[in-house]
Chains A and B, each alone.
Chain A
Amino acid sequence: MIYFDNSATTKIDPQVLDTYNKVATNIWGNPSSLHKMGDRAHQMLEASRKQIADLLGVKQHEIFFTSGGTESNNTAIKGTAIQKREFGKHIITSSVEHASVANSFNTLENLGWRVTRLPVDKEGRVNVNDLRNAIDSDTTLVSIMGVNNEIGTIQPIDEISDLLENYPTIQFHVDNVQALGKNIWDRVFTPRVDLSSLSAHKFHAPRGIGILYKKEGKMLTPLHDGGGQEKGLRSGTENLPAIAGMAKAIRLLLENEPEKASREAAIKAKIVDYLKDKPGIDIFSPVSDGFAPHILCFALEGIRGETLVHTLEDQDIYTSTTSACASKTADEASTLVSMRIDDKIATSAIRLSFDETNTLEQADEFIKVFDKIYNHFAKINHLGEN
């Protein structure tokens, strides 16, 4: 079995699951309870928060636990928009965001906010000049992802940060769900970033848990009101087993991070090298400093993406069409469409996404299997014939 769909989700690490089980079994008090069971849970909660903060190089009180990437994105975007509505109702994002960002902007637009969606170039990247032109005195929020989930483009968060130094009242959110542990963190998490989202199941931790980084002093209107947990930003009894598991998973993820990332890059490079001169193949994730090491998106012209996914699946190789979240609704606007890739080619795209558990041998095996598939389809579609 070859699992090349790690941007959709990852397999839980047995060590992380062990922590989850032990915490769920032994430390099951409510962290808000006054008695010693509650106290023990509270201590564990804060120790987890501290470990995560230390690993990310931020302050302990800047880490907020949520149910995952979708909630973190919703809270950052809607929370900012509502909080700052009296100062302006213009908000900016890109046209290639994850659905949880894109649809949060759609909702706000329906409620009366003015939304600018920045276009992208042929690599799926926004241009900082477009952002500069879009900002006006009503702008309260800029939300741009760190790494695109469909093709792996690294957005110019550093340049955007430089620009936004001139606009201190604009809250800058970066969806970094695809970006942690890929040895690019400094590029997508600059000191200017006010808000950032992470999702635990993208790095071998359980579902249903994630992080919203909120810089000290920045204000958000909470979306979940209740008992005031997470300093009032996210009420609801804390999911301690998952939080502890996530803290452990981040520690494991960041151990030997450069080596892991370069191994993923080598797998990508090997497959790109095989694909690059094949007639009828379009690669959207070149081997380049501007792309994450773990995502490879390409199209085989004339074959629908889902056909290719299922054909690979028959050989026990697991991949996805462009975004697992959107892949069941073919007509959803995607990164490729925003890049003005022809519809026919865009619908042929598949995504391979790697992580540190994949090997170069798996890349060889993939190439072997894909070569047969390619030759078969190439013949049918007369690829390479003029």
Chain B
Amino acid sequence: MEYTEVMVRYGELSTKGKNRKDFINRLASNVEKVLKDFPQIDFHPRHDRMHIVLNGAPFAEVDKRLKKVFGIQTYSPAIKIPKALEDIEKTSLELMQETFKPGMTFKVNTKRSDHKFEYDTNQLNNLVGDYLFDHIDHLKAEMKHPDLVLRIEVRQDAVYISNQLLHGIGGMPVGTAGKAVMMLSGGIDSPVASYLAMKRGVDIEMVHFFSPPYTTEKALAKAKELTGILANYAGKINFIAVPFAEIQETIKEKLPEGYLMTVQRRFMLQLADRIRAKRGGLAIFNGESVGQVASQTLQSMVAINDVTTTPVIRPVATMDKTEIIKLAEDIGTFDLSIQPFEDCCTIFAPPRPKTKPKLDKAREYEARLDVEGLIQRAMDGIEVMPIYPNEKFINDKIEEDQDLL
């Protein structure tokens, strides 16, 4: 059974009134982005649903990718057939035989936009229903809550049949909420925060701080590979690597140990904010969870957040670690996140960071440094690269190597 089309039903955006058109266009372009390696596919976004014509692209793969596009409520694969009763019956039977298990109930649901078709909806429901009863044992009809609904749509050009209703992940199409930067470390939390930001339609760009030679290439590769996993939800995510070693060295050299962490974080937030402004973002997202570590106490947030008035949004702020881990496992970032490559948050970590830093002290210490010079040099060193779904960066040769065994 080869599906020829997919009918996509929109999620929350259905309620959004006059912005609807932008939303639909954004969703369509996001769907196109994740399916861009199937050039034969045609997309027809309409006001109430999107119609995807597969033209031979395998539905199994398309299915996997649609499951990760925010803004899709449900979708159904369908088969396009000629407008003849015989074909309708034959295809209906094949579809039912693939999905029906003894004990299931069903109903036929016909819609007709071609009112000149020789059978009306009731006639078709009865004819096809009878045909299926004749050919499948133990079939039971049920009008109110059937297990399977066989949908037959008679349109001008052809008849479309489907009997599966698949669930998308909901949310809002990425990009509809605007652009923001995401502070991605490489741990468990920030990838989950990224996912949640995208779920609300935010088009994120990753900002990652790295400190060679203190951090290894593997730590950077890990952050990129995490971005590759998250790119499944956006089609593409820009990755911005920010050199941070000079700032860390300077802070380590000149400031008291208790404030190393706080001042480092202030610099990170300032840099993220500069990058945001430069790239037209509206907000900064990060993976902070209240009270999880010294830099994430409310007192620390006060002392760090002080550097900007830009909204700093923390999607996992109130989640427990176990909840975050569960979500990380679901979205496929957990196993990679726990790979032990030292990132720039763990090097230069003071043995006893202040969990209740004072804002005025943080300001005072920071002011001893050439803040503008340090930030400018870091900004001069940033590198931006686009990352596509499932791109590999760590051990990119390993899989190929292992084919030799």
Find the B residue at minimum CB distance from A241: B404
Which residue of B217, B398, B405 contacts A244 across the interface (Cβ within 8 Å)? B405
Which residues of A lie under 8 Å from residue B401 when comparing CB positions? 23, 26-27, 40, 43-44, 47
Which residues of B lie under 8 Å from residue A22 when comparing CB positions? 404
Question: A207 on the interface (CB 8 Å rule)?
Answer: no
Question: B145 on the interface (CB 8 Å rule)?
Answer: no
Which residues of B lie under 8 Å from residue A48 when comparing CB positions? 405
What is the CB-to-nearest-CB distance from B244 to chain A, in angstroms, rounded to a whole number? 22
B405–A47 contact, CB under 8 A? yes
Question: A36 on the interface (CB 8 Å rule)?
Answer: yes
What is the CB-to-nearest-CB distance from A151 to chain B, in angstroms, rounded to a whole number? 34
How many interface residues does chain B have, given as a range?
under 10
Find the B residue at minimum CB distance from A247: B405
Which residues of B lie under 8 Å from residue A36 when comparing CB positions? 217
- Interface set, chain A 139-184, CB cutoff 8 A to B: none
Find the B residue at minimum CB distance from A15: B404
Which residue of A23, A43, A51 contacts B398 across the interface (Cβ within 8 Å)? A43
Question: A204 on the interface (CB 8 Å rule)?
Answer: no
How many interface residues does chain A have, given as a range?
10 to 19
> Could you tell me the distance between the alpha carbons of A247 and B402 in the complex, rounded to whole angstroms?
10
A19–B395 contact, CB under 8 A? no
A43–B395 contact, CB under 8 A? yes
Find the B residue at minimum CB distance from A248: B405
Which residues of A lie under 8 Å from residue B405 when comparing CB positions? 19, 47-48, 51, 244, 247-248, 251
Binary flags per residue of B382-405, CB closer than 8 Å to A gives 1, else 0: 000000000000010110011011
> Could you tell me the distance between the alpha carbons of A251 and B401 in the complex, rounded to whole angstroms?
16
What is the CB-to-nearest-CB distance from B402 to chain A, in angstroms, rounded to a whole number? 5
A47–B397 contact, CB under 8 A? no
Which residues of A lie under 8 Å from residue B217 when comparing CB positions? 36
> Could you tell me the distance between the alpha carbons of A53 and B182 in the complex, rounded to whole angstroms?
43
Which residues of B lie under 8 Å from residue A248 when comparing CB positions? 404-405
What is the CB-to-nearest-CB distance from B348 to chain A, in angstroms, rounded to a whole number? 21
> Could you tell me the distance between the alpha carbons of A386 and B402 in the complex, rounded to whole angstroms?
65
> Could you tell me the distance between the alpha carbons of A36 and B341 in the complex, rounded to whole angstroms?
14
A40–B404 contact, CB under 8 A? no
Which residues of B lie under 8 Å from residue A47 when comparing CB positions? 398, 401-402, 405
A19–B404 contact, CB under 8 A? yes
> Could you tell me the distance between the alpha carbons of A26 and B404 in the complex, rounded to whole angstroms?
11
What is the CB-to-nearest-CB distance from A247 to chain B, in angstroms, rounded to a whole number? 5
Which residues of A lie under 8 Å from residue B395 when comparing CB positions? 39-40, 43
> Could you tell me the distance between the alpha carbons of A18 and B397 in the complex, rounded to whole angstroms?
18
Find the B residue at minimum CB distance from A51: B405
> Could you tell me the distance between the alpha carbons of A40 and B400 in the complex, rounded to whole angstroms?
11
> Could you tell me the distance between the alpha carbons of A251 and B403 in the complex, rounded to whole angstroms?
12
> Could you tell me the distance between the alpha carbons of A36 and B218 in the complex, rounded to whole angstroms?
9
What is the CB-to-nearest-CB distance from A191 to chain B, in angstroms, rounded to a whole number? 26
What is the CB-to-nearest-CB distance from A196 to chain B, in angstroms, rounded to a whole number? 21
Find the A residue at minimum CB distance from B395: A43
Which residues of B lie under 8 Å from residue A39 when comparing CB positions? 395
B404–A23 contact, CB under 8 A? yes
Binary flags per residue of A1-38, CB closer than 8 Å to B gives 1, else 0: 00000000000000000110011001100000000100
What is the CB-to-nearest-CB distance from A199 to chain B, in angstroms, rounded to a whole number? 19
> Could you tell me the distance between the alpha carbons of A186 and B251 in the complex, rounded to whole angstroms?
64
> Could you tell me the distance between the alpha carbons of A104 and B243 in the complex, rounded to whole angstroms?
60
Which residues of B lie under 8 Å from residue A251 when comparing CB positions? 405
Which residues of A lie under 8 Å from residue B404 when comparing CB positions? 18-19, 22-23, 44, 244, 248
Find the A residue at minimum CB distance from B401: A44
Which residues of B lie under 8 Å from residue A247 when comparing CB positions? 405
> Could you tell me the distance between the alpha carbons of A51 and B403 in the complex, rounded to whole angstroms?
12
> Could you tell me the distance between the alpha carbons of A40 and B401 in the complex, rounded to whole angstroms?
9
Find the B residue at minimum CB distance from A44: B401
> Could you tell me the distance between the alpha carbons of A244 and B405 in the complex, rounded to whole angstroms?
6
Find the B residue at minimum CB distance from A19: B404
Most chain-B Cβ atoms within 10 A of its Cβ — which of A19, A47, A248, A251?
A47
Which residues of B lie under 8 Å from residue A18 when comparing CB positions? 404
Binary flags per residue of A221-255, CB closer than 8 Å to B gives 1, else 0: 00000000000000000000000100110010000
B397–A40 contact, CB under 8 A? yes
- Interface set, chain B 214-234, CB cutoff 8 A to A: 217
Which residues of B lie under 8 Å from residue A43 when comparing CB positions? 395, 398, 401
- Interface set, chain B 104-159, CB cutoff 8 A to A: none
Find the B residue at minimum CB distance from A23: B404
What is the CB-to-nearest-CB distance from A240 to chain B, in angstroms, rounded to a whole number? 11
Which residues of A lie under 8 Å from residue B397 when comparing CB positions? 40
Find the A residue at minimum CB distance from B217: A36
Which residues of A lie under 8 Å from residue B398 when comparing CB positions? 40, 43-44, 47
Find the B residue at minimum CB distance from A40: B397
> Could you tell me the distance between the alpha carbons of A32 and B401 in the complex, rounded to whole angstroms?
18
> Could you tell me the distance between the alpha carbons of A26 and B217 in the complex, rounded to whole angstroms?
21
- Interface set, chain B 348-405, CB cutoff 8 A to A: 395, 397-398, 401-402, 404-405
> Could you tell me the distance between the alpha carbons of A265 and B145 in the complex, rounded to whole angstroms?
64
What is the CB-to-nearest-CB distance from B180 to chain A, in angstroms, rounded to a whole number? 33
Which residues of B lie under 8 Å from residue A23 when comparing CB positions? 401, 404
Most chain-A Cβ atoms within 10 A of its Cβ — which of B395, B397, B402, B404?
B404
> Could you tell me the distance between the alpha carbons of A103 and B405 in the complex, rounded to whole angstroms?
35
Most chain-B Cβ atoms within 10 A of its Cβ — which of A19, A36, A48?
A36
> Could you tell me the distance between the alpha carbons of A247 and B404 in the complex, rounded to whole angstroms?
9
> Could you tell me the distance between the alpha carbons of A26 and B397 in the complex, rounded to whole angstroms?
11
Binary flags per residue of B275-311, CB closer than 8 Å to A gives 1, else 0: 0000000000000000000000000000000000000
Find the B residue at minimum CB distance from A27: B401
Which residues of B lie under 8 Å from residue A244 when comparing CB positions? 404-405
What is the CB-to-nearest-CB distance from A152 to chain B, in angstroms, rounded to a whole number? 30
Find the B residue at minimum CB distance from A250: B405
What is the CB-to-nearest-CB distance from A244 to chain B, in angstroms, rounded to a whole number? 6
Find the B residue at minimum CB distance from A20: B404
- A47-B401, A251-B405 known; 12 new pairs, CB 8 Å cut-off, are A19-B405, A22-B404, A23-B401, A23-B404, A40-B395, A40-B401, A43-B398, A47-B402, A47-B405, A51-B405, A244-B404, A244-B405
7 interchain pairs (CB within 8 A)?
A: A23-B401, A40-B395, A43-B395, A43-B398, A44-B398, A48-B405, A248-B404
List of 4 A-B pairs having minimum Cβ-Cβ separation, nearest first: A19-B404, A247-B405, A47-B402, A43-B398
